[in-house]
Structure 1
Amino acid sequence: MAITPTVEERSGCGRRARLAARVMRRFVRPLVALLPWSPATLRLAPLLDLGAALLVPPRGTKVARVNGLPCAAEWVRGPGVTGGSGKAVLYFHGGGFVACGLRTHRRMIARISQAAGMPVLSVGYRMQPRVPIATSVQDCVDAYRWLLDEGCDPGGIVVGGDSAGGYLAFMAPLHAIRDGLPRPAGIAALSPLTELDTASKIAHANAALDPFIPAPRLRDMIHVVFPGAELTDPWLSPVHADLGGLPPVLIQAGSVEVLLSDAELMAGRLGAADVPCTLQIWEGQVHVFQVFADISREGLAAIAEIGAFAREVTGAGARRRAA
C-alpha cells in the first residue's frame, strides 16, 4: 500500500533571509567551489567546530557532557527544559561528513530543545577522512542504543539531523531496526542528503539557484566519503533502502537549495513504503536555513514546526494510534 506524502509550501521570505542568501552567493559559494577535497584540507575541517565556540546558546541553556559513547556527545537542554520525562531528541549535525560538530550546532539545537520541550542528545560522531562512513553510522546507532539503555522509551525518541546529519537521521534508525532495536517515534530531517547518485542534483533547476552549494562539489564529497561504494546499496543510500519500518517523518528544505531534489525523492519513496511523511518547502530559503534563525524569522518558524512534530509523535495520542 502507498500513501501520498503531505507537501506544504511555506510562502514568504523575509528581507534579512534574502540578504543572507545574496551574501552567501557572493562570498560563500565561490569559496566552497574552490576548496579542494584533499586529505590535507579535510583534516583541517574539524577546526571549524573549535571556532564556533563563540556561538553561545540562548540564555538559560544547560549543556552537559556525555560519557560512555565511542564519540563525543552532550545533553542540550534549552531554556526551561528539564529531564526526567523519558523523552528526547537524538540529533546528528551536518557538515558534509567532514566538518562542524557540537559547538557549531549547539545554538540551533538549544532552540529545537526548547520548541520540543525535551532535552536533545547531540552526537559528535566520528568523521571522514579519519574513519569510514560505516563508523559514523555506527556511532549514531550506538547513541540510539545508549538512550534506550538509559531508560528512554523508543516511543519518546525523535531522531533528527541536518544535511549529512539528515542522512544519518535516516540511516541510524534503519541500521538500528536491522539490529533488532525498536523504532523511534519519528524522524525530523533538515535539508537531508538521501541519494548518493549526484546526477539528479546536478540536473535539477536549483543547481543554478543554490546560494551555498555548487552541485558539482557533491560529486567530490561522495567520492571521498563513499569511496568505491555502489550508489544504490540500500545500507548506504536511504532512498534505496526498505523504508517500511520507519516511523513518521518530517522533512524541511529550502525552495532554492540543490538538496531539495533529495528531499522530494525521499518523500516519494517514504510514501511508496506507506510511511507518513510531511515535506515542508520553505520559499527562498537556503540549505539548513534553521541555523540562521538569528537573522531569519522563517528559521525560527521552522524550528517551531520541528518542536510541534516532536511533541505530536511522542504524545499520548500518538502512542494510542500506534497501539
Structure 2
Amino acid sequence: MDTRPPAPQPAEVTPLPLSAPPTPEADPRKPHERRPSARSLLVTGALRLGARPFIHLVPGHARTLRTARTTVDAASLLMRPTSRVHIRPLVDPRVETDRAERPVAGEWVVTREGERTASGAILYLHGGAYVVCSPRTHRPITSRLALDTGLPVLVPRYRLAPENPFPAPLEDAVAAYRWLLDRGVPASGIVIAGDSAGGHLAAALTGEILRTGLPRPAGTVLFSPWVDLTCEMSTRAQRRARDPYISAYAARRVARLVVGPAGFDDPRLALLASPWTDAPPILIQVGGAEVLRPEAEALAEALTRAGNDCELQVWKGQMHVFQILNRVLPEASAAMRETARFVRRVVAAGTTATEAVA
C-alpha cells in the first residue's frame, strides 16, 4: 500500500463552506458569543436527560471500558462520511528508517482538490477519554476539516488505555508527526488538532515537540481539551456546571486507568505546569456549559502569560465537543468555519516565514 502523503505543493487553499455564516447585520456579536439556537437547546436537553445519567455511572475498570469501546466502534458504522471526501487507510511499519521508529497506523481523510494542491496537513488526534473511539468515530470532524481547509487530515490510531497507559498515546502521536516530516510535509504547513482527551494529547504533543527540538508546527487546535487529568478542576466545576453529559466523577475513575501504575507524576501530563516557551499559535474552543471550561480557560491563561498567541473561544451554552455535530447544529458548523479560518491563517504565516528564511 502506498503510504506516501499527498505531495506538498505551494498553493492557495480556498475553503469549501457548507453553509453561509450569519450576516453581521443580523447579529454583530462573534459567533461564539451568540445565544444558543433552539436546535442546540433541544439536543443538549435530550443528552442531559438521556445520556448523562449512564455516563456518570460508568465504572472505572477495564472490562466495562472494553465493552464500551466495542459499542462505540459499532455505532460509528452508522455515521457515514460525506461523499466529498476519500478515506484512505494507512499502515506503515516504519522499517525503512535508521531510527527506532514506532509503526504508524490510521487513516487519511482527503478531498479530490486537497489531494492535488495541499501545501500541508492536519494531524488530528481523536478524543474518547484515552480509552474508547478511533479515527472512524471522528470522521464528522475530520471530513469537515478536510473540506473547509483543503488540507489532507491524518488521523493516527494511537494505542488506548488501560492496555496501553500514558505515555503510549504520546509516543504514537510523536511517531505520526515524525512520519509527516519524513515524507516531506513541512512543519510550517502542519496543524496539530484534537478533541477532549485528544485535545490533551494534541497539547502534550506540542509541548513534546518544543521540549525535544523537533520543527515547530504551524499551529494547534484544541476542542474541549481535557487539560487536568487529575480532574480536580472539573470536579469542583461539576457542582455548578450544567454539563449536558460529561461527568467529572466518571472521568476521574477512567483517568486512573489512563495513567496506569505510574500515576500522575509524568510531567508530560501536567499541561498547566509546562513552560510553553515559543509555542505555535493555538486556538481553543470550549462549550460554555461543560465542566472542562475552567481547564480550557486556565490553559489559555498559561499560554498567554508565557507570551504566546492563544485564541480562546467559549461557545455560549454549548456542550463537550459540540463540533462533532456540525451537520446538525449551526453553532458547530460556525465553530468549524472559525477553525478553518485559524488553520488558513497559521499555515499562510508559516509558509511566508519559511519562504523569507529561504
Change (3 A) 1:255 1:311: same
**Stretch of structure 1 that moved more, 199-208 or 276-285:** 199-208
- Partners in 1 of 2:67 and 2:158 — Cα distance? 16
Residues 239 and 266, structure 1, Cα contact 8 Å, conserved in 2: yes
Residues 206 and 256, structure 1, Cα contact 8 Å, conserved in 2: no
Give the counterpart of 2:109 among 73, 76, 79. 76
Equivalent residue pairs, number:
317
Residues 192 and 259, structure 1, Cα contact 8 Å, conserved in 2: yes
Residue 168 of structure 2 corresponds to 135
Residue 332 of structure 2 corresponds to 299
Change (3 A) 1:10 1:218: same
Residue 53 of structure 1 corresponds to 77
Secondary structure of 2:131's partner? coil
**Stretch of structure 1 that moved more, 197-206 or 248-257:** 197-206
Residue 62 of structure 1 corresponds to 86
Change (3 A) 1:53 1:267: same
Residue 286 of structure 1 corresponds to 319
User: How far off its partner does 1:84 sit?
Assistant: 4.6
1:30 paired with 2:30, answer no
Residues 217 and 280, structure 2, Cα contact 8 Å, conserved in 1: yes
The one-letter amino acid paired with 1:315 is A
- Partners in 1 of 2:264 and 2:32 — Cα distance? 30
Give the counterpart of 1:225 among 258, 273, 277. 258
Secondary structure of 1:82's partner? helix
Residue 4 of structure 1 corresponds to none
Secondary structure of 1:66's partner? strand
Residue 64 of structure 2 corresponds to 41
- Partners in 2 of 1:183 and 1:83 — Cα distance? 25
User: How far off its partner does 1:213 sit?
Assistant: 0.8
Alignment of 1:309-320 (within 5 A): 309-316=342-349, 319-320=352-353
**Stretch of structure 1 that moved more, 58-67 or 71-80:** 71-80
TM value normalised by structure 1 = 0.92
Residue 100 of structure 2 corresponds to none
- Partners in 2 of 1:236 and 1:317 — Cα distance? 28
Secondary structure of 1:67's partner? strand
Q: Deviation digits for residues 215-238 of structure 1, max 9, x if unmatched?
A: 212211221211355647432211
Report the identity percentage. 37
Alignment of 1:82-101 (within 5 A): 82-101=115-134
Greater relative CO (CA pairs within 8 A, separation 6+): 1
Residues 207 and 215, structure 1, Cα contact 8 Å, conserved in 2: no
- Partners in 1 of 2:205 and 2:350 — Cα distance? 25
Residue 44 of structure 2 corresponds to 21
- Partners in 2 of 1:40 and 1:207 — Cα distance? 32
Give the counterpart of 1:177 among 198, 210, 215. 210
Secondary structure of 1:184's partner? coil
The one-letter amino acid paired with 1:279 is L
| Structure exhibiting the larger radius of gyration computed from Cα positions | 2
Change (3 A) 1:226 1:25: same
Residue 254 of structure 1 corresponds to 287
Residues 141 and 173, structure 1, Cα contact 8 Å, conserved in 2: no
**Stretch of structure 1 that moved more, 292-301 or 35-44:** 35-44
Alignment of 1:186-197 (within 5 A): 186-197=219-230
TM value normalised by structure 2 = 0.83
- Partners in 1 of 2:238 and 2:63 — Cα distance? 33
- Partners in 1 of 2:305 and 2:160 — Cα distance? 32
The one-letter amino acid paired with 2:54 is L
- Partners in 1 of 2:261 and 2:304 — Cα distance? 30
**Structure 1 residues without counterparts, runs of 5 or longer:** 1-6
Residues 165 and 260, structure 2, Cα contact 8 Å, conserved in 1: no
Secondary structure of 1:189's partner? strand
The one-letter amino acid paired with 2:333 is L
The one-letter amino acid paired with 2:92 is G
The one-letter amino acid paired with 2:91 is N
Residues 59 and 250, structure 2, Cα contact 8 Å, conserved in 1: no
Q: Deviation digits for residues 221-274 of structure 1, max 9, x if unmatched?
A: 221211355647432211111211320000000000011111100000001111
Change (3 A) 1:161 1:237: same
The one-letter amino acid paired with 1:17 is S
- Partners in 2 of 1:14 and 1:220 — Cα distance? 33
- Partners in 2 of 1:171 and 1:317 — Cα distance? 21
The one-letter amino acid paired with 1:174 is G
Q: CA RMSD in A?
A: 2.1
The one-letter amino acid paired with 1:311 is R
Residue 124 of structure 1 corresponds to 157
Residue 24 of structure 2 corresponds to none
Residues 165 and 257, structure 2, Cα contact 8 Å, conserved in 1: no
**Stretch of structure 1 that moved more, 53-62 or 82-91:** 82-91
User: How far off its partner does 1:139 sit?
Assistant: 0.3
Secondary structure of 1:235's partner? helix
Residues 31 and 331, structure 2, Cα contact 8 Å, conserved in 1: no
**Stretch of structure 1 that moved more, 211-220 or 154-163:** 211-220
- Partners in 2 of 1:279 and 1:244 — Cα distance? 18
Give the counterpart of 1:241 among 271, 274, 277. 274
